[in-house]
Amino acid sequence: MIGCKDFCDWLTEAGVTFLTGVPDSVLKGFCAWLVERAADRHVLAANEGGAVALACGHHLATGELALVYMQNSGQGNAANPLVSLADPEVYGIPLLLLIGWRGEPGLHDEPQHVRQGEVTLPLMDSLGIPCRVLEAEPQAAAEQVAELARLARARSGPVALIVRKNTIEAYAPQHPPTGETHPLSREEALELVVGTLAEKDVIVSTTGKLSRELYELRERTGTGHDREFLTIGSMGHASQIAMGIARSRPERQVFCFDGDGALIMHLGAAAIIGGHQVPNLKHVVFNNGCHGSVGGMETVGFRVSFTEIARACGYRQALRAMSREEVLDGMARLHDSPGPGMLEIFLRKGARPDLGRPKTSPKQNKTAFMEFLSP
């Protein structure tokens, strides 16, 4: 297994002077190390395509090499700038990709990762990006880093290291940030919000622990799972799924349960929602200021105002809540007023360590949900 400090030292020796990306569970030890030990040369990006652009900007300004890290689910976000910006046939910008391999063939993983794992290496081939699977033996891994850094410069384009689970060691931050302290956990706020919904109201919940908590809430209360679409994968797209449903079912109130990291990833969706003034769409943002499902790296969720952004995008109302009473009042106002509307709920970090996963498959969820939506 490779130590985080050793890996970062190899990158420095190879001439990597800037690091950026989107957190990944396979790489979470490395990500935690960057936050604590390399903050002066690291930026947590909104999405993987933006990370590639940041790396390209760094090279244009300095002539030096940058690293972009991501989960393999982010290859799609990154593909456009990799091919139309960094490619040797366009601007010819060298950079090093570090890609966590969820869904590696032959290993058990969650449904949303299986197909992505199968196409991880073929996608690199299709994009014309040379790649290597990172060796777990330190000396061999160090040689790979040096080799790929030389290759990136020689070809004036991207190269990639694919990382299997348990290749890079776990790392517990020595001085974890305390962040904001808010009275409600996400699970507590979720139970309050769901408790205000009518029988025919529709939920689209974002990927990650929020959807897992919603599933467990329904299991605990015995209220069934047909009223919500649990978005697994497709991070940042839940609000557009919800908008598509709301436009087609104007007689139903549609609630998007979003997270701060997911909203930031594709923030332009708020402009489309506001610009189209869908009256039955209600956007509930569970903001805990971190990427809670992939290691807890902080987002800028507590440093920006989603409500002000929503108002500027054309949402008819945008509310904030921290306490139990404010959540209930905000949900009542969303119910009673035409949308689009937003309720942003500030939460403390963390989730139960024994949080389970849905026992139904994505296709079972889709079928039951579509039946629930039927007129």
Containing H/E element for 353?
none
Confidence of residue 181 (pLDDT cuts 50, 70, 90): confident
Q: What is residue 375's predicted lDDT score, i.e. its pLDDT? A: 85
Strands (DSSP E) found in 164-299 = 202-205, 228-230, 254-259, 281-287, 290-291, 297-298
Strands (DSSP E) found in the chain = 16-21, 42-44, 65-71, 95-100, 131-133, 158-163, 202-205, 228-230, 254-259, 281-287, 290-291, 297-298, 317-321, 341-346
What count of other Cβ atoms lies within 10 Å of the Cβ of residue 295? Answer: 21
- Assess contact for 46 and 96: CB atoms under 8 A: no
Query: How far apart (Å, rounded) are the C-alpha atoms in residues 97 and 44?
Result: 15
pLDDT at 372 over 90: yes
Confidence of residue 178 (pLDDT cuts 50, 70, 90): low
Ramachandran angles phi, psi of 286, nearest 5°? -90, 100
Q: What is residue 285's predicted lDDT score, i.e. its pLDDT? A: 98
Ramachandran angles phi, psi of 175, nearest 5°? -135, 70
DSSP-derived secondary structure letter, 184: -
Residue 153 neighbours by CB under 8 Å, 6+ apart: 65, 94
Task: Report in angstroms the alpha-carbon separations of 211 from 187, 189, 216, 337, 361.
Answer: 10, 13, 9, 26, 13
Q: What is residue 173's predicted lDDT score, i.e. its pLDDT? A: 73
Task: For the chain, list the domains and their CATH numbers.
Answer: 4-163 (3.40.50.970), 186-373 (3.40.50.970)
DSSP-derived secondary structure letter, 83: I
Strands (DSSP E) found in 63-133 = 65-71, 95-100, 131-133
- Assess contact for 113 and 100: CB atoms under 8 A: no
Q: What is residue 297's predicted lDDT score, i.e. its pLDDT? A: 86
Tell me which of 267-276, 297-306, 321-330, 338-347 is least confident: 297-306
Tell me which of 174-178, 326-330, 357-361 is least confident: 174-178
Tens digits of per-residue pLDDT, 38-73? Answer: 889 999 999 999 999 999 999 999 999 999 999 999
Q: Give the global pTM.
A: 0.93
- Assess contact for 191 and 213: CB atoms under 8 A: no
Q: What is residue 111's predicted lDDT score, i.e. its pLDDT? A: 87
Q: What is residue 172's predicted lDDT score, i.e. its pLDDT? A: 79
**What's the mean per-residue pLDDT of the chain?**
95
Task: For residues 342-356, give the mean pLDDT.
Answer: 93
Tell me which of 18-22, 95-99, 266-270, 350-354 is least confident: 350-354
What tokens were used for 235?
């991070």
For 46, how many CA atoms within 13 A lie in the half-sphere containing its CB? 13
Name the pairing type of β-strands 202-205 and 131-133: unpaired
Q: What is residue 167's predicted lDDT score, i.e. its pLDDT? A: 96
- Assess contact for 263 and 306: CB atoms under 8 A: yes
- Assess contact for 349 and 297: CB atoms under 8 A: no
Q: What is residue 273's predicted lDDT score, i.e. its pLDDT? A: 98
Q: What is residue 177's predicted lDDT score, i.e. its pLDDT? A: 56
Query: What residues pair up with 42 in beta bridges, in sequence order?
Result: 19
Higher-scoring residue by pLDDT: 154, 36: 154
Crossing angle of helices 186-195 and 209-221, rounded to 10°: 50
Tens digits of per-residue pLDDT, 185-223? Answer: 999 999 999 999 999 999 999 999 999 999 999 999 999
Q: What is residue 233's predicted lDDT score, i.e. its pLDDT? A: 87
Task: For residues 284-302, give the mean pLDDT.
Answer: 90
Task: For residues 103-120, give the mean pLDDT.
Answer: 93
Q: What is residue 132's predicted lDDT score, i.e. its pLDDT? A: 97
Which amino acid, one-letter code, is at 125? D
Place of tokens 């904001």: 180
Query: How far apart (Å, rounded) are the C-alpha atoms in residues 314 and 340?
Result: 8
Task: For residues 229-234, give the mean pLDDT.
Answer: 93
Q: What is residue 308's predicted lDDT score, i.e. its pLDDT? A: 98
Tens digits of per-residue pLDDT, 234-268? Answer: 999 999 999 999 999 999 999 999 999 999 999 99
Cis peptide before 375 (omega within 30 of 0): no
Terminal C-alpha separation, the chain: 55
In 3D space, the residue among 201, 286, 200, 182 whose CA is nearest the CA of residue 238 turns out to be 286
Task: Report in angstroms the alpha-carbon separations of 373 from 227, 252, 317, 335.
Answer: 8, 9, 26, 19
Query: How far apart (Å, rounded) are the C-alpha atoms in residues 270 and 283?
Result: 9
Task: For residues 156-175, give the mean pLDDT.
Answer: 91
